[in-house]
Each structure stands twice: as C-alpha cells, then as structure tokens.
Amino acid sequence: PFDPNSLPELPAVEDVTIAGNLLFGENPSKPLSNVKVNLINENGEIIQTVTTNAFGAFVFTNLPSDQNFLVKVDENDTPLTLNTKIIITNKSGKELQTTKSGSNGGFKFSFLSADKNVLKTMIVEDTELRFDFKGKLMSDKNLPITDAVVNLLNDKSEILKTTKTDASGNFVFISLPADKNTLMALDENDPQIKTLNKIYLVNDKGVIVKEFTRTNGRFKFILLPDEQHKLGQIYVDDPWLKVLQFKNEAKKDSLTIVENVYYNYGDFKILPEAQKILDKVINLMKNDVQLVIELSSHTDSRSTNEYNVKLSQQRAKAAVDYCLGRGIAKDRISGKGYGESRLVNKCADGVECTEEEHAKNRRTEFKISRKEK
C-alpha cells in the first residue's frame, strides 16, 4: 500500500522538479501524447510550457514548493471529446487526480502547496532527468555549418559520441544527463571550421542560444543544466523510450528492457502497478505493428527451484494473456518462466544477500525485435 510518510519531506521554499503522465479514456487508459501543457502561477501567468512525449509524460523544472500552480492543456490541442476522463499520475503510474475534458478538449488540474502528499509523489531528482539536445550551428556569415563533425565530450575531454550536422546545420544528441554540463567540440581539422571566427548555436525556433569563439584554437561548447530547456525537451529517464528509437537503428537485431513487474508474494495475478507497464507495452505494439516481444519472468533463489520455475511460468503466462486480451496477436508476443536459473548477481542458494540484492533477480525482461517484412 502507498505510504506518504515514506516519502522525503518537501523543502519549505526550495525549488523542486515535478514529473507526471497524462492519460485519457478507460479500460485501458491511453497516453495523451504530443500535446502542449502550460504551467500557470497564482497570477494567471504561463511560466512554463512543455510538450508531452509518446507516453504522455511531462516535466516542470525549478518550481517553488510553497506556491500553487495550475496545469492546463489548451482547447483544440487535444483529440478529446466532451467529458473524456483525464488522469494525471506520477512518473511511476500512481493515479493522483482525475477530471473531465471540456467541450473543445481542454482541461486543467490544480496543484496546491498545502497538498504536500500529492506534490511529494511527483518530485523527481535531477539524476533521473534526461534531455535530447537538438541544435543548429550557424556561421558568423549567417550560413548553416553543414557536414561538420560534432563531438560530445566528458569532463576529461574524451569523446563519448560523435555526430554530423545536416544540410541545414542541425545535429542531435539523444538522452543526455540533464543534471550535468554538456560539453562539445568541433573537429579542428575541418577546413570550413578553420576559416570561422565565431559560431552561433541556434535552437529550433531560430533563436541564438549561445555565441562561441575559439579557446586555445578550438571551438568548444559548454551548455549548463539551466540552459538545456532552450535546446531540447527535458524528460524522466524511461527505458521504453529506446523502443521508439529502435526502428531507426537498423544495425540492432533486438533490444532488451528490464522491468519490475510486481506481483503479490507467491501469486501471479496482474496488479494495477503491473498493468501500467503492460499497457505501455500494448500501446507501443499497436503503434508499431512490426514489433515482436519475447517476455521472460525471473525469480530470486529463495524457495525451491521447482517452485520458482512454476511460479515464473505462471507469471509470464499471466502477462502474455493480459496483452492477448487487449488485442495483441498471438504471433507477436510469447512468454517463458526461468525461475532462478538466470540470476544477475551472486545471490544463489546458500549465499547471504540483502533484500535489495534479491530484488534485482525478481524481474521481467522484454526482448524486443522486429518482424521481417
């Protein structure tokens, strides 16, 4: 059961970052994706606007914890009809509030500083946040810098990733830590770079975010965490976002995602928390008919091997049946229970381990591949 007392205390006046998900409809609810969400303060002013991702997730950063806010989605920016049920959850999928959409699809939620239990469940740590860096390089002659090598560096100036600008000067780095400085450098041997005195970093709205000159003969870019929102969407790290990129990564034959699909002790009934994960899987599979999933259920080493194999098989079957019952074809999802045969750490029979160590073995893995056309 949910225990609000187990959550960290809200800071009295410090800024916080909150995250949640917007869902609509019932049985099952679907993510309200790609809609603009406005955060409005007590004076009726819009102080932040973000766009939900494919899973209906949103993040608002640097909010004073002692103020009241209104979260509002504008009319005509949603596909909703009158009186559609709208649900707001925390990042883990726990339902916090519900409302109904208006005649044109708009709706709003209130977040009051006095309702600390709701706010506490929505707070996320900066280490959980990621952002997609989407920039454009322009020369001091107001021309795009094309086909230029851009290197992403760590704090030791070692290259982590490399990309190139396109014909319009655009480049992208996906899923960067939002709590750290972003350091980049251009290839100093590029002939077109050698002729430049200044380079401008521009966002997708055409606004110059930063101006750069040479440092020790090189163009280096440092983007601070509080500047990231100018160049990309900030979001909570979610392993399922990798599936959305999977179709663009032809070299990968498969992708494995590990989730904690929770069950009551010794039982295989699908709980509401597990439904949230499986509903996400179902929505992904319905939106991409080429996806095929092989589901595997694993236990820790406690209880007998025979018992663990049987229980894990029952859990795998229950998860597969849940997906089949919501329209996924039999040839696209399968499941198998492995019991304790594939432990991920040292916690085998007879080895003393903490509960946290045992918990790492109690997992469900989703191996995702694509059907051959």
SS3 annotation, 241-290: HHHHHHCCCCCCCEEEEEECCCCCCCCCCCCHHHHHHHHHHHHHHHHCCC
DSSP 303: S
pLDDT at 7 over 50: no
Q: Whole-angstrom Cα distance, residue 127 to residue 178?
A: 7
Q: What is the dihedral of CA 79, 85, 91, 95, to 10 degrees?
A: 180
The whole-angstrom separation of Cα 170 and Cα 33 is 25
Q: Give pLDDT tens digits for 104-163.
A: 777 888 877 767 777 788 888 888 888 888 999 999 888 999 999 999 998 888 999 999
In whole angstroms, give the CA distance from residue 133 to residue 235. 12
Strand partners, 38: 49, 72
- Number of Cα atoms under 13 Å in the Cβ half of residue 300: 19
How confident is the model over 220-231, as pLDDT tens digits? 888 888 788 788
Residues 361, 300: contact at Cβ < 8 Å? yes
Domains, in order of start, for the chain: 4-124 (2.60.40), 129-234 (2.60.40.10), 241-370 (3.30.1330.60)
Rounded average pLDDT over 49-74: 86
pLDDT-derived band at 58 (thresholds 50, 70, 90) equals very high
